[in-house]
Amino acid sequence: MNTSQIKSLNDQFILNTYGERKLALVRGSGVSVWDADGREYLDFFAGIAVVSLGHCHPEVTEAICRQARTLVHVSNLYYIERQVQLAKILSEHSFASRWFFCNCGATANEAAIKLARRYWVQKGTPKPDILAMQQSFHGRTLAALTATGQPKYHQGFEPLASGISATVPYDDVEALERAITPSTGAVILEPIQGEGGVRVPSAGYLRAVREICSKRGVLMILDEVQTGMGRTGKLFAHEHAGIFPDIMTLAKALGNGVPIGALGCTEEVASGFGPGMHASTFGGNPLCTAAALATVSVMTRPGFLEHVCEVGGYFMEKLHQLAAKYPVIREIRGKGLMIGVELNTEVKPVVDKMQEAGIICGPAGPKVLRFVPPLVIEKEHVDRVVTALDTILGAL
């Protein structure tokens, strides 16, 4: 099918939640994708920070194919070999020692909220309230949506989940201290807010949140769905702050495109869940955990994260040179290869023009241009993107 044939079937049969799009991408390899009419694009969005090893990475593809020929699905009524291997490698590379697998970021956050509530019930001191941040994003299921501090996503879906309040200003330690009450059981936040505009908090913020949570008896849940898996130059973004949370959620890049979400937690917090308390039919099935195991194996090899830091630093430097030239650039934010360029103007026309120039990037809110490319990009790819952006901003 060509693009217009795909579009017309979409318009006829797909619920209208995504609005109009320009491209139908049908093939990918490394940092390139091709549309249904055969045109090639340099992908600096990676399916929203998902395809971190590049499209159709040979080792992940091989793991998927091998697993597809062996066993695609059983249920969690049985032990799953790939799942336990994945949990082991994730534990070896993080603070977490216990894992629950699900299907996406939203379901990982649902699991985190449920675990936090159960943990305090189990302790005999129920504290059901969950605090979340303004401008956050935690997913579209009802509890995760309630924890998402962007009113535009709530409209028309009330009543939202009770006991969850996303009204704490981000990067404001005192506001968090004031918001905690005796019934606050957990705080959920992103180490860097992604969807909310690539907002990097001030240097001591995460550490201060950790200290407040420990002091006040509140669990710290870090949503690393977007920041995790090497995106910021560490395997998990909280490592930059030298702290660890009680619970962390993962999804996006974990399976390099195969849908999988995860919750990792400390041994102590893991005691909140017992048999029958939480479950997922597909969660951690052989196919998705085989893909994630291959993905994590590549990401934890020597040199992988160093490459992210080096290319990310180079990209930042080039963007700062553009910022010196174009006052339309208000601010450049980010870490590693999670980068937001805030403009003084609407970002959509810029995204469209980049696309016309053969480069895929995306927005993070109305005025922030977001780059979350595959982590395997090279400096020459950065040069192409910066040159195109230079031309487009010059013509604005």
Ligand X SMILES: *Cc1c(COP(=O)(O)O)cnc(C)c1O
Q: Is 47 an interacting residue with respect to ligand X (CB under 6 A)?
A: no
Considering only residues 190, 329, 336, 370, which one is a binding residue for ligand X as defined by CB under 6 A? 190
**Which CB, 30 or 245, lies closer to ligand X?**
245
Distance, CA of 363 to CA of 302 (rounded, Å): 32
Residue of the chain from 226, 232, 256, 295 that contacts ligand X (CB under 6 A): 226
| Positions in 127-146 near ligand X (CB under 6 A) | 137-139
Q: How far is the CB of 167 from ligand X (least distance, A)?
A: 18
Is 365 a binding residue for ligand X by CB under 6 A? The answer is no
Which residue, among 100, 246, 251, 253, has the nearest Cα to 187 in the 3D structure? 246
- 269 is a contact residue toward ligand X (CB under 6 A): no
Provide, rounded to whole angstroms, the least separation between the CB of residue 140 and ligand X: 6
* Residue 105 makes contact with ligand X by CB under 6 A: yes
Given a contact cutoff of 8 angstroms between Cβ atoms, the answer to whether 186 and 114 are in contact is no
Q: Applying CB under 6 A, which part among 188-196, 233-241, 293-301, 337-345 lies near ligand X?
A: 188-196
Q: What does the alpha-carbon distance between residue 254 and residue 245 come to, in Å, rounded to a whole number?
A: 19
Closest CA to 94 of 223, 234, 232, 192: 234
Residue 253 binds to ligand X (criterion: CB under 6 A): no
d(CA 26, CA 59): 20
Of 1-9, 161-169, 221-229, 334-342, the window that binds ligand X (rule: CB under 6 A) is 221-229
Provide the minimum distance between the beta carbon of 146 and ligand X in the complex, in angstroms, as a whole number. 13
* Residue 195 in contact with ligand X, rule: CB under 6 A: yes
Query: What residues have CB less than 8 Å from 254, skipping those under 6 apart?
Result: 228, 229, 260, 261, 262, 292, 295, 296
Site membership for ligand X, residue 232 (CB under 6 A): no
The nearest distance, CB 236 to ligand X, in angstroms, is 13
Contacting ligand X (CB under 6 A), which of 223, 315, 318, 364? 223
Q: Please select the residue that binds ligand X; options are 113, 147, 164, 225, rule is CB under 6 A.
A: 225
| Binding status of residue 63 toward ligand X by CB under 6 A | no
Alpha helices in the chain (DSSP H): 3-13, 46-49, 58-70, 81-92, 105-123, 142-146, 151-154, 173-179, 205-216, 267-270, 286-299, 304-325, 348-356, 379-394
Judged by CB under 6 A, the residue of 251, 291, 338, 393 near ligand X is 251
67 within 8 A of 286, measured Cβ to Cβ = yes
Question: Does the protein bind ligand X through residue 106 (CB under 6 A)?
Answer: yes
Phi, psi of 271 (to 5 degrees): -65, -10
How many residues are there in the chain?
A: 396
Please list, in sequence order, all residues whose beta carbon lies within 8 angstroms of the beta carbon of residue 345, skipping any fewer than 6 positions away. Answer: 328, 367, 396
| Shortest reach from residue 237's CB to ligand X, in Å | 10
Token pair 């909310």: residue: 196
Per rule CB under 6 A, is residue 264 in the interface with ligand X? no
Q: Does residue 340 belong to the site contacting ligand X (CB under 6 A)?
A: no
Q: Please, what is the minimum distance in Å from the beta carbon of residue 92 to ligand X?
A: 24
* Residue of 292, 285, 297, 299 lying closest to 102 (CA atoms): 285
Q: Would you count residue 35 as binding ligand X (CB under 6 A)?
A: no
Helix, strand counts (H, E) of the chain = 14, 15
CB of 290 within 8 A of CB of 66? yes
44 vs 137, beta carbon nearer ligand X: 137
By beta-carbon distance, which residue lies closest to ligand X? Answer: 105
- Write down the H helix ranges in 19-72: 46-49, 58-70
For ligand X (CB under 6 A), the number of binding residues is: 14
We find the least distance from the C-beta atom of residue 242 to ligand X, in angstroms, to be 21
Q: Which is nearer to ligand X, 184 or 193 (CB)?
A: 193
Residues near ligand X, by CB under 6 A: 104-106, 137-139, 190, 194-195, 223, 225-226, 251-252
